Amino acid sequence: MEIRDDAGFFAALDANEEQPYGKARTARAEELVTVAERMGNDENLAWALLRLITAYNYGGESPRTPVPLSRLLGLWDEHPEGFDEQLTHHLFWDLKWITSSLLSVPEVPLTAIRGYLADMERRYRTAGHSLRPVYQSRFYLARHIGADAETTEAFEAWLAADRDRLADCDACERREQARWLIARGRDADALELLAPTLDGALTCAEEPQVSLATSMLPLVREGSPDRARAHHLRGYRSVRGKVSTYAAVAEHIEFCALTGNEGRGIEILAEHRAWLARPQSDPSDHSDFLAGVAVLLRRLVAVGGPELVVFEDTTAGGLGETVERELFEIAARFDARNGNDAVSARVRRRLAAAPVADSLPLGLRSVRVASRAAVDPAATTVSGRGVAELLSYARELDEQGHPRAEAAWRDYAAAARALGQDVDPFALAAITEADGIELVEEGEFAAGAAALDRAATGYLAADAPGRAVGAEVRLAMARFRADEPDALALFDAAQVKAGGFLPDDAAPLALVLHHRAIVALAGEAEDADAILTELHDLGRDHGLRHRQSAALHIRAERALQADRTTDAEVDLSAAITLCREAERPWLACRPLFLRSQVRMRLADPAAAEADMRAALETAAFYTEPQFPVGHALTMLANAIGAQNRPEDALPFALEAAHVFDDEGDPEMAAACRRGAVGMLFGLGRDAEAAAILEELLPEVEEHHGPEHAMQERWALGLCLRRLGDTREAARHLAMAAETAVKVADRATQAELAVAAAHALDDAGMAPQAQAAFGRAIELLRAEGDVRETVRALRAKAWNIASGTDREDPSGVDRAVALFAEALRELAGAETGAGAADEGATMVAVERAGTHHQLAHLLARADRLHPARAAADKAATAYVAVLPEEADGYLDAVQLAARIEAFGLDERPAAVTRLDVALKVCATSGITAVEELTELREELDRS
């Protein structure tokens, strides 16, 4: 559209302001400068140049700002009288950007930058402004060139100077000050400086999202990994793909690289891969981005080797070389300009950063980076004596039944082979047995049984017949789990052999009885109690406390099957004590795990938490390989959550999801994430909840079916609505409502239809909202839910009225008709409600609320007489439900009184109304009547 006058020009400027920063907005800003030049109006040109400077600065082209800024200064110097107060303020504001813009281009000489700084200082002094922005710019220059003394001096002058209207916003200043402190190793001081921004007290166009990114690594180093994770989840959503927060994206990549989340780092890099080939900002910003990427690629090489595939056509090593080559080329350009290696040195320090955490679960599903193969033990030189020591150590652990015994046997065998020595036959049998057990656990029953058969033969060859029986009973268990018909006969044969070692060695028989008890627990033996008693007594009589403990553990499981919870707790407590007395504390993991569940059933979540913590700590300390860590973490989160401590429970839910990801159990991982989302939503941490849901939704849609997808969209829509992202909230809730029609019951359909209608209303999509409210009303009526039907009718009425032009009364009339419909709905419900029951109270509250809202709607439409009548009815209706509905009563009275006093010029009636209301409040025990009293006094004065 051709711009013909000033009004059209400024309308075009304002329209461009609504566009996102980037190439398109910048191109339009340049066009408008040309338009302003053609119009020959200096004021128009000044505004166009200001908007172009802003587009350059936030659109990744800040090095181009000096040209329009110089033109703007020329206009000011020639005709300062043509600049009003607002234009003048913008001119001096934009002067602050010149130093950073010029610093970011290595081809601009330092002398030119210092010249601009001197000119900036002169102009600020002449205009009488604080020199705080000047000192800030001097700080940027000194920091960039590595002049430590000058940097400190400028930093202190910056902080000491007065803040006036031209100072950067407090949040932005604090961020840059914090970054300098972080570079000097002062993480705690930096976080203290950032605290108001991180807590939401300070905000601006770039904050808090950029400070969230800056704070993540310092938080981990200072021992607050949970806050760091929260800042990643909150912050990344706000910086993704935005060139104005170029460096913050790199900080998120670097954070992932240094916290064991390399897979997540790859995903973020993939979303911004185009930035590698086509820099979106100046050399300085691009260097920051490349440095964050280089940190990630170095970690990937360290973890998975240089041939690790990052993208389909790219390896970590190859891409890392390319990125670092470009990175150091840019640094060299800056060094040449600056006359030192300060920039290159900073890059080298950043790339040498060590991980700050082995693994910090983020709650997001990401690709797992496979670690490179461990160093081949055969390549390790081990002395003969060392091999003997390894063999002795393995035997010691094996005799204890220690969970690390298997690893010890393997270490010994590898060392022996490395020296060309024969491996001890017992060791070979033990390793083969361990292989068989692992195969059975993985469901490979036939292969596992074959390995266990070989192990039994190996033990016999090693003159260990008792251990051979152990391998045979495990073989029988493998056959049992595979539903083989000969399994029970194999148990019988093993038990006969084991009995032959008595009375000298009861261990083989105890192992057989232990496995038979497990079979009995599955309901495959009629004499289960007898087997458990025999195992318990054998363990007691022969000093095998760990087998005695096992009998009690299994008996506790049988008690739980029979709902004898208290008996189960007693047996488990005794089992735990026996494990410790046997000096095999690692065996206490599972009874602790089960007792925790029992104590949850007994409504003692604090004791359940203590047990599960103890189980996890014991399993981790002794490296218990079969312990169900993911389930334990999930149950620990549940126990803590049951004590109303969701913030404490959250890290365990997220860690559980991480564990299930590693174990290849996506359903449990998704369930844990859903639980975490519920905690976050309850804590009001909507941005984090939304981040997890956005990552989870595609997987749920692909693998978990429409009902689960509906639930995730519902939750995501509610999060986004609370975050103010109304369009996206409406989209997700509307899609969830559509799915609900196919997969959900009528009550759920109704609830989702209401949520979608409200979201569509928030987003300004009136026709869609009205249709959604209509559908919701239909469903709610079918459900017989009077209260929600009335509320939906009122919401639909407001939706219609809010889009009505005052010149057209039909919209208000339709809204009033809906309020009348709501009142009829309540009248119908009242006939079925007794005077004292809950239904009657609901009807009274909703009737009062309906009159009350109708009064406000009519007042907004300047229909004052019916508005007063509705407010009067509301106040009268509220009296029946005082003091609980005191807020509604007080507002209705004030509304009616204000209409009378200021709209209808009936002040005596308003005074009388207020006097009556004050008496009602006194009678009802309502003391918060300040607003009524103030209005009464105001009417007296007038």
DSSP string across 57-79: HHTT-GGGTHHHHHHHHHHHHH-
Count of structural domains within the chain: 1
Q: How far apart are CA 158 and CA 276, in angstroms?
A: 35
Helices (H), 642-745: 646-663, 666-682, 686-703, 705-723, 726-743
- Cα–Cα separations (whole angstroms), residue 286 to 291, 302, 523, 794: 9, 24, 66, 53
Q: How far apart are CA 151 and CA 130, in angstroms?
A: 19
Residues 6+ apart with CB under 8 A from 503: none
Residues 6+ apart with CB under 8 A from 58: 21, 205, 243, 244
Do residues 112 and 119 lie in contact, with contact meaning Cβ atoms separated by under 8 Å? no
Q: If you search the block for the tokens 């190793």, which residue do you land on?
A: 185
Q: How far apart are CA 273 and CA 235, in angstroms?
A: 19
Helix axes 666-682, 705-723, angle to 10 degrees: 30
| Residue numbers of the chain with a pLDDT score lower than 50 | 373-384, 834-836
Cα 814 to the chain's mean position, in Å?
44
Range of the domain at 576: 501-594
Q: If you search the block for the tokens 């493998």, which residue do you land on?
A: 478
For residue 7, the surrounding DSSP H or E stretch is helix 6-17
Do residues 773 and 799 lie in contact, with contact meaning Cβ atoms separated by under 8 Å? yes
Residues 6+ apart with CB under 8 A from 869: none
Burial class for 122, CB neighbours closer than 10 Å (0-12, 13-18, 19+): exposed
Do residues 401 and 546 lie in contact, with contact meaning Cβ atoms separated by under 8 Å? yes
DSSP 536-564: HHHHHHTT-HHHHHHHHHHHHHHHHHTT-
Burial class for 435, CB neighbours closer than 10 Å (0-12, 13-18, 19+): middle
Q: How far apart are CA 593 and CA 710, in angstroms?
A: 34
- Cα–Cα separations (whole angstroms), residue 107 to 331, 342, 653, 852: 12, 16, 51, 68
737-748 CB burial, b ≥16 within 10 A, e <16: bebbeeebeeeb
Position 169 in a domain: no
Amino acid sitting at position 306 = P
The reply to whether omega before 908 is within 30° of 0 (cis) is no
DSSP 603-636: T-HHHHHHHHHHHHHHHHHHT-TTS-HHHHHHHH
The reply to whether omega before 883 is within 30° of 0 (cis) is yes
Position 39 in a domain: no
Q: How far apart are CA 266 and CA 285, in angstroms?
A: 20
Q: How far apart are CA 441 and CA 629, in angstroms?
A: 16
- Cα–Cα separations (whole angstroms), residue 333 to 111, 138, 356, 584: 16, 21, 31, 64
Cα torsion through 22, 28, 31, 37, rounded to 10 = -100
Position 569 in a domain: yes
The reply to whether omega before 68 is within 30° of 0 (cis) is no
For the chain, how are helix, strand and coil distributed in percent, rounded to 5? 75, 0, 25
Contacts 24+ apart (CB under 8 A), 142-151: 143/180, 144/103, 144/334, 144/338, 144/342, 144/343, 145/110, 145/338, 145/339, 145/340, 145/342, 146/338, 146/340, 146/342, 146/343, 146/345, 146/346, 151/180
Position 262 in a domain: no
Position 97 in a domain: no
E-assigned strand segments in 346-463: none
Do residues 754 and 728 lie in contact, with contact meaning Cβ atoms separated by under 8 Å? no
Do residues 704 and 670 lie in contact, with contact meaning Cβ atoms separated by under 8 Å? yes
- Cα–Cα separations (whole angstroms), residue 706 to 212, 701, 709: 35, 6, 5
Helix axes 589-601, 629-641, angle to 10 degrees: 30
Position 578 in a domain: yes
Q: How far apart are CA 119 and CA 69, in angstroms?
A: 13
Position 589 in a domain: yes
Do residues 385 and 400 lie in contact, with contact meaning Cβ atoms separated by under 8 Å? no
- Cα–Cα separations (whole angstroms), residue 137 to 98, 99, 120, 142, 167: 9, 6, 10, 9, 11
Q: What is the DSSP letter of 927?
A: -
Position 654 in a domain: no
Q: What is the pLDDT of residue 57?
A: 80
Do residues 772 and 791 lie in contact, with contact meaning Cβ atoms separated by under 8 Å? no
Q: What is the pLDDT of residue 524?
A: 58
Residues 6+ apart with CB under 8 A from 536: 548, 551, 552, 555
Q: What is the pLDDT of residue 837?
A: 60
Q: How far apart are CA 866 and CA 860, in angstroms?
A: 12
> pTM score, two decimals?
0.78
Q: What is the DSSP letter of 311?
A: E
Residue 819 corresponds to which tokens in the numbers above?
A: 């309020």
- Cα–Cα separations (whole angstroms), residue 873 to 648, 879, 923: 49, 10, 20
Helices (H) and strands (E) in the chain, counts: 46, 2
Burial class for 787, CB neighbours closer than 10 Å (0-12, 13-18, 19+): middle
How far apart, in Å, do the first and last CA atoms of the chain sit? 54
Q: How far apart are CA 250 and CA 265, in angstroms?
A: 10
Q: How far apart are CA 26 and CA 243, in angstroms?
A: 13
